[in-house]
């Protein structure tokens, strides 16, 4: 209804994004933030009827078309001209644990994210349908993204022939973890490296790399082994552009316990152990660089935003805010939490974060 269009959508999105950067966790916080910063926002927003109420934020974002919102975000991200050649893009799911609504029978929202650990940017997200799983969400997310030259890494759940083909169709390479959901493939790769181990890994074409890292009372050792895919796998053509098979042995020593695991993988990349080790390590780091920050710094798991599409929109705003804060260089030697606090306190700091310009 034209007579009820009191606020501009772009104004509401800008206010909500700035509020997310500065520590707001719900629509009431966004309203309070907007009112305190009204004079600052009025410098570049129209605000025909002032700052919307928290109910207005909630109602509008609950009804916003998420597919159109994601498409707009993708156009904006592409406009930044991030070079993603050989950058790792980690596709990984995360559940917003308190977004469920018992009264309406709505389960907690699960989002599939595309995270670039090299750029520290969330390139996109899609919601996983309640009656489905992450496997069906991957093609939707891939369709959104421009992946030319990138390297997409996924967990064993997504070790699917269709997924490998879809990634190659986007002009990207893949690294897929292989476990029991692909029993024949897993058994064949395991046999390859068991035979190689019998000969102390002195096999033509096999490359290996060993690394040890220490910190926070933990010692972690990783051994990477890669070799060209055997003709028995390559010539079948089941896996799009398959070039490499690999194995990683990981051992962790903690103060009171030790653990170890063996992981197999396949890739469309050549058998360069340094390059593959980088992408595998980057994939496992998504828990700390994205999920941990969203839960601990942004309080995502505690968010009670539930109505309609609002949890998705709020999730996208958090990820966009985190990406902007990660990419910021205007605030020196400061944690994400520290940047958020300073941005909330000082308009000049917030402007510097948004524009990338150094403050006085």
Would you state the pLDDT for residue 358? 55
pLDDT tens-digit map of 34-84:
999 999 999 999 999 999 999 999 999 999 999 888 888 888 877 776 778
Nearest Cα to Cα of residue 268 among 141, 187, 161: 161
Beta bridge partners of 261: 250
Angle between helices 310-327 and 9-21 in degrees, nearest 10: 60
Other beta carbons within 10 Å of 259: 10
Would you state the pLDDT for residue 225? 97
Would you state the pLDDT for residue 360? 45
- Nearest 10 degrees: CA dihedral of 107, 109, 112, 116? -150
Beta strand spans in the chain (E): 88-96, 109-116, 121-127, 151-154, 173-178, 207-215, 218-228, 244-253, 258-267
Beta bridge partners of 249: 223, 262
Q: How many CA atoms lie within 13 A of 223 on its CB side?
A: 9
Query: What is the DSSP-derived secondary structure letter of residue 358?
Result: P
Other beta carbons within 10 Å of 3: 5
Phi, psi torsion values for 318, nearest 5 degrees: -65, -45
Nearest Cα to Cα of residue 309 among 139, 111, 132: 111
What span, in angstroms and rounded, lies between the C-alpha atoms of 85 and 211? 25
Residues 6+ apart with CB under 8 A from 45: 8, 10, 11, 14, 15
Would you state the pLDDT for residue 77? 78
Spans of the chain, pLDDT less than 70: 1-4, 81, 357-360
State how far Cα 57 lies from the chain centre: 25
What span, in angstroms and rounded, lies between the C-alpha atoms of 119 and 87? 8
Q: Identify whether the C-beta of residue 306 lies closer than 8 Å to the C-beta of residue 108.
A: no
Would you state the pLDDT for residue 81? 67
């Amino acid at each position: 209804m034209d007579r009820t269009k009191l606020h501009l959508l772009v104004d509401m999105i800008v206010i909500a994004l700035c509020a997310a950067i500065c520590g707001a966790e719900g629509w009431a916080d966004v309203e309070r933030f907007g009112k305190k910063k009204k004079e600052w926002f009025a410098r570049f927003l129209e605000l025909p009827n002032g700052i919307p109420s928290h109910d207005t934020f909630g109602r509008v974002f609950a009804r916003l078309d998420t597919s159109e919102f994601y498409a707009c975000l993708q156009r904006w991200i592409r406009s930044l001209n991030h070079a993603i050649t050989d950058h790792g893009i980690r596709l990984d799911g995360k559940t917003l644990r308190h977004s469920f609504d018992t009264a309406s029978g709505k389960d907690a929202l699960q989002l599939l994210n595309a995270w670039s650990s090299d750029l520290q940017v969330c390139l996109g997200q899609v919601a996983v349908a309640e009656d489905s799983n992450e496997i069906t969400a991957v093609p939707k997310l891939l369709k959104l993204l421009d992946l030319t030259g990138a390297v997409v890494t996924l967990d064993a759940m997504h070790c699917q022939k269709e997924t490998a083909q879809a990634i190659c169709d986007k002009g990207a390479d893949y690294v897929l973890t292989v476990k029991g959901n692909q029993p024949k493939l897993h058994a064949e790769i395991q046999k390859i490296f068991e035979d190689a181990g019998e000969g102390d890994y002195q096999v033509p074409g096999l490359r290996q790399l060993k690394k040890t890292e220490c910190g926070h009372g933990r010692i972690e050792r990783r051994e990477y082994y890669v070799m060209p895919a055997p003709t028995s796998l390559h010539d079948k053509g089941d896996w799009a552009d398959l070039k490499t098979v690999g194995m990683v042995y990981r051992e962790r020593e903690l103060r009171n316990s030790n653990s170890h695991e063996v992981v197999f993988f396949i890739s469309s990349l050549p058998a360069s152990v340094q390059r593959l080790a980088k992408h595998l390590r980057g994939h496992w780091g998504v828990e700390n660089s994205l999920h941990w920050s969203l839960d601990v710094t942004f309080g995502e798991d505690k968010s009670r935003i539930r109505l309609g599409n609002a949890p998705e929109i709020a999730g996208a705003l958090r990820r966009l805010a985190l990406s902007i804060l990660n990419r910021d260089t205007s605030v020196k030697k400061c944690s994400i939490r520290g940047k958020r606090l300073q941005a909330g306190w000082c308009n000049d700091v917030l402007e510097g974060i948004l524009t990338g310009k150094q403050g006085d």
